Chains A and B, each alone.
Chain A
Amino acid sequence: MNSAVPFELPASALAMKADAIPVIEVRSAEKIFPNGTRALAPLDLTVQPGEFVTLLGPSGCGKSTLLKLIANLSEPSDGRLRWWRGDFTGVGQAGKRLAFVFQDATLMPWAKVLTNVRLPLDLAGVPKAEAEARSMAALQRVGLETFAKSYPRQLSGGMKMRVSIARALVTEPDLLLMDEPFGALDEFTRNKLDADLLELWWERKLTSIFVTHSIYEAVYLSTRVVVMAARPGRIYREFIIDEPQPRGEAFRNSTRFAELCRELSGILADASLAGAPA
């Protein structure tokens, strides 16, 4: 998708920040791995404040690679990225905070849940008392305040992911990046966490970029789905989901939801079949 081609933003997102600066701008970013694999063909992506963008695609389409570029966990081989119209050195300042949730909970097994949640604040040198209070609040937000003094091994997979999300929220991020965070969980737990996540997003209008290979998850969560294709990884199509917010169980059970899933599934099938572009 070229940035020159305007795409329609969902009304909700547009209404919020009409003239706000984009959170993320990816411009002709390309990623070639040292072994010569072309993980991403040059691509463009713009994410506006308040959007919930899902990167969806078959495995090997470079969705995680793209997310890592956005998180600055790796650098593009060519092209460039901008964060709030600036480079990455500005990220972390007030109004430009970024948080990342990994596929695994990635907690420190030797540290109690509260210490794990507090980590980003401790690293940033936030005073202890304040860090403690904010971490408790974040734990409360994910419903795990009674487990503050437990060790990660005493928690279930879903609870660990909640801790991981609390750790992401504790910094009051302005952009939340998630790399298939619920991929390893059972469907019931995943649906529950998706619902909680959507509520969080709605509450804070927290700009989010979410990688998944689940069509249902993409439809349920996103305001915009970016469908990607493989070999080389590229953006195949964008798909706006302009359904009223906040979405709840009712939406998941609606015929509209089923329709959207079917439609997206078709696009995804085309993307999977699509060969390398001419």
Chain B
Amino acid sequence: MIARKEIAMRIVAPLLVGLLVLAGWEAFCRAGNIPAYLFPAPSAIAQTFAKDAPTLLKALMMTLKVTFQAFFFAIVIGTLMAFVFVQSKAVELSLFPYAVLLQVTPIVAIAPLIIILVKHTQIALVICATVVALFPIVSNTTIGLRSVDPSLAAYYRMNKASRLQTLLRLRIPSALPFFLAGLRISSGLALIGAVVAEFVAGTGGRSAGLAYEILQAGFQLDIPRMFAALLLITITGVVLFGLMVGLTKLALGHWHDSEIEGEA
């Protein structure tokens, strides 16, 4: 009973806050008679959203495509890199600094370069977003693959386990919590990377995704539409995060400390 009450609180309380903020926002705009091109009321944003839904949703699909492709490549490349790093210290030492280099260079600074170099807009965007999303997966998975309980590792050695057996039965499960934490960060970064790259591409006149819609709406002073596009990006981010949380729960819920709530 208490658990159900807590879940209700978890949903109802933030929802209530949201509604209050929206109502206040609406009231503020109406009372102050603030024009929609300066600061639109929620109702105006909703109207615009209804009117422009087809274009906005099409833009959303593009952004999603870039985000998911980048996320996918980040997972594949990042995990492979981590496996290579773990196999050989020499490889890790020689390559890791470059992974850091990629991570610390602001994507906004390299995006124009990538977009000029790569002719196909979609591919250029995916490259930009992948670069942003890659690092958390590489570093987390590498740490994860290394953080094997030494006694268990000794046990495997003693039982003459093959390298493959040790990898599949010991290293990968040990790395899973770290990998999933990396995914959680990386999914958000893939979206940010996609939007940033779209902005850069959009400034260059290449149409793409929600960021381009925001840019265009800005040029046309269609502020409600900017808000509508922004809202879609935010919702996408929240949904992505929720998906990753769900995935983590599914994979670790039955055994990992991070997912087990006050039982003792």
Q: B-contacting residues of A (Cβ < 8 Å)?
A: 71-73, 92, 98, 100, 102-104, 106, 108-111, 119-120, 122-124, 151-153
Alpha-carbon distance A98/B160, docked complex (angstroms)? 12
Query: Which chain B positions have C-beta within 8 A of A104?
Result: 151
On whether the beta carbons of B255 and A110 are closer than 8 Å, the reply is: yes
Contact with A along B104-133 (1 / 0, CB 8 A): 000000000000000000000000000000
On whether the beta carbons of B255 and A151 are closer than 8 Å, the reply is: yes
Query: Which chain B positions have C-beta within 8 A of A103?
Result: 151
Distance of A224 from chain B, by nearest CB (Å): 24
Alpha-carbon distance A146/B254, docked complex (angstroms)? 18
- Specify the main secondary structure of chain A where it touches its partner: loop
- Specify the main secondary structure of chain B where it touches its partner: helix
Distance of A53 from chain B, by nearest CB (Å): 19
Distance of B180 from chain A, by nearest CB (Å): 12
On whether the beta carbons of B157 and A123 are closer than 8 Å, the reply is: no
On whether the beta carbons of A71 and B158 are closer than 8 Å, the reply is: yes
On whether the beta carbons of A153 and B155 are closer than 8 Å, the reply is: no
Given contacts A106-B152, A108-B152, 5 further A-B contacts (CB under 8 A): A71-B158, A108-B173, A109-B256, A110-B173, A151-B254
Total chain B interface residues with beta-carbon distance under 8 A: 21
Distance of B158 from chain A, by nearest CB (Å): 6
On whether the beta carbons of A110 and B160 are closer than 8 Å, the reply is: no
- Which partner residue on chain B sits nearest A106 by CB separation? B151
Residue B83 at the chain A interface, CB threshold 8 Å: no
On whether the beta carbons of A123 and B256 are closer than 8 Å, the reply is: no
- Which partner residue on chain A sits nearest B254 by CB separation? A151
Among B154, B159, B173, the one with the most A-chain Cβ atoms within 10 Å of its Cβ is B159
Query: Which chain B positions have C-beta within 8 A of A92?
Result: 160
Given A151-B255, A153-B260, residue A100 in contact with residue B176 (CB < 8 A): no
Contact with A along B135-149 (1 / 0, CB 8 A): 000000000000001
On whether the beta carbons of B152 and A73 are closer than 8 Å, the reply is: no
Residue B241 at the chain A interface, CB threshold 8 Å: no
| CB-CB contacts below 8 Å: B159-177 with A | 159-161, 165, 169-170, 173, 176
Given A123-B165, A153-B255, residue A72 in contact with residue B170 (CB < 8 A): no
Alpha-carbon distance A132/B169, docked complex (angstroms)? 17
On whether the beta carbons of B176 and A110 are closer than 8 Å, the reply is: yes
